[in-house]
Amino acid sequence: MYRTLSSVMISVAVVLAACNPTTPNNVNSASPTDSSTNTSVEKNEPNSQYKPAFAGQTRIAAVKTQTAFESKLLSKELNRPWAIISLPDGRLLITEKEGTMRIATTAGVLGTPITGLPPVDHESQGGLLDVALDPAFSTNRLIYWTYSGIVGDATLTAVAKGKLSADEKTIESVKVIYQATPAFNSKQHYGSRILFDKTGNLIFSTGERSDKRTRPQAQFLNSSLGKVIRITTDGKPAAGNPFSGVDSARPELYSYGHRNVQGLAFHPTTGDLWETEFGPKGGDELNRVVPGKNYGWPTITYGLEYSGEKVGEGIQQKAGMEQPVYYWDPVISPSGITFYSGNSIPEWKDNLFISGLSSMQITRLVIKDNKVAGEERLLTDVKKRFRDVTEGKDGALYAITDDGCLYRIGK
Ligand SMILES: [Ca+2]
């Protein structure tokens, strides 16, 4: 009897834990949190006793979406997806870590795997990573992507471009346009996101490869590790870059002092570039990227080593180094991000959405005057590692999880 009952309970639990098909957001919102209540969504103790540099730099007051919306599981058939973007016709282009791409309809119907990409090292954090469409994609079908390239017994973050075939089954005329050297024998901290800026150049991010030997290179202007980088569509340094003409600096660098940037997005109204990066224990960051600026890693950080020891001198502020707009302690593990520019849910306008890995949720940040004004955590019930989130042409958000789920979040 007990066994039967517990089997039933386990079955129910499994069903609940699986990709939840439909989850209205207002089921338990009989008394929605007042957005003026000065309480954070974070209830756990911080790892460090470090003090923020200014009010509102961490643990901002919670907000709660008042518009009714739902999260809907569209597919659970993706193979380790990493990035999701919208195509001009409204369908979704999704990268899969092992080296393929898929096109999905907004109903969740998946196309066949798109092949023909260069080999990737998909061990640990590596693989086929982000993808961006050429501004003239509708006519030239060109795409650009980042991936973990293999160089001898080492790896690096690389950028390639190619043409999506008419039958959407392969990538043609593939050309590797940039390699973020030096290569290093690590399987971690590749970055990376890639975007077109309004000048038609590519902006993408790298990581510092998660090793104490390469970590200092985040501060070196003659290394491409731990950077935001801006290049032409042929992989050359873009005109107007901040270190162009500076001796011993790489002219493709755009900003430096980053640890592992997996979120990059342009603010829809201001046009500013924002990034999220994985910090160490208790030091995940949100930054507004200004060209030429130093974002501090590994000299300043609000996090600790995973051992609990301080990082370097254990300082959080230094002249000449930028403060994060916001940080999380404990971490949320911020992967892909997107600003919401749609009209379907008006209170989300210009809000930043951040896919969370270890935190298994999607963070919504209200941003006002370049500061965080409120934080909400969405889809906490499905218990999934959210890898990326993008805005659909229909005003909904679309998100992917490490275990292959595709969600639609909207009205
Ligand atoms: Ca920083």
Ligand 1 centroid to residue 295 C-alpha, Å: 4
What is the pLDDT at residue 4?
37
Ligand 1 centroid to residue 285 C-alpha, Å: 6
Average pLDDT over every residue of 222-249:
98
Average pLDDT over every residue of 19-42:
51
Q: Whole-angstrom Cα distance, residue 321 to residue 204? A: 21
- The verdict on whether 267 is a catalytic residue reads no
Q: In terms of Cα–Cα distance, which of 93, 219, 90, 195 is closest to 134? A: 195
What is the pLDDT at residue 411?
95
β-sheet with 284-289: strand ranges across = 261-266, 273-277, 284-289, 326-328
What is the pLDDT at residue 386?
98
Strands (DSSP E) found in 185-240: 194-196, 202-205, 227-231
Ligand 1 centroid to residue 270 C-alpha, Å: 22
What is the pLDDT at residue 38?
53
Ligand 1 centroid to residue 319 C-alpha, Å: 13
Q: Which percentage of the chain shows pLDDT scores above 70?
A: 91
Q: Whole-angstrom Cα distance, residue 93 to residue 325? A: 30
Q: Decide if pLDDT at 15 tops 50.
A: no
Q: Whole-angstrom Cα distance, residue 219 to residue 40? A: 33
Binned at pLDDT 50, 70 and 90, residue 12 comes out as very low
Of 122, 189, 258, 267, the catalytic one is 189
Copy the structure tokens of residue 294: 């130093």
Q: In terms of Cα–Cα distance, which of 162, 76, 69 is closest to 405? A: 76
What is the pLDDT at residue 27?
38
Average pLDDT, the chain: 92
Q: In terms of Cα–Cα distance, which of 267, 235, 258 is closest to 366? A: 267
Distances in Å between the Cα of 287 and the Cα atoms of 60, 94, 264, 277, 347 are 16, 26, 10, 8, 22
Tens digits of residue pLDDT in 102-160: 999 999 999 999 999 999 999 999 999 999 999 999 999 999 999 999 999 999 999 99
Q: Read off the pTM.
A: 0.92
Ligand 1 centroid to residue 322 C-alpha, Å: 7
What is the pLDDT at residue 8?
37
Average pLDDT over every residue of 334-339:
98
Ligand 1 centroid to residue 296 C-alpha, Å: 5
Strands (DSSP E) found in 190-310: 194-196, 202-205, 227-231, 253-256, 261-266, 273-277, 284-289
What is the pLDDT at residue 5?
37
Average pLDDT over every residue of 58-69:
97
Tens digits of residue pLDDT in 72-94: 999 999 999 999 999 999 999 99
Q: Which domains does the chain have, with CATH numbers?
A: 38-410 (2.120.10.30)
Ligand 1 centroid to residue 55 C-alpha, Å: 17
Q: Decide if pLDDT at 32 tops 90.
A: no
Instruction: Please say whether the beta carbons of 409 and 379 come within 8 A.
Output: yes
Q: In terms of Cα–Cα distance, which of 403, 409, 408 is closest to 77? A: 403
Q: Decide if pLDDT at 359 tops 70.
A: yes
Q: Whole-angstrom Cα distance, residue 218 to residue 299? A: 10
Side-chain half-sphere of 143: how many Cα atoms within 13 Å?
A: 24
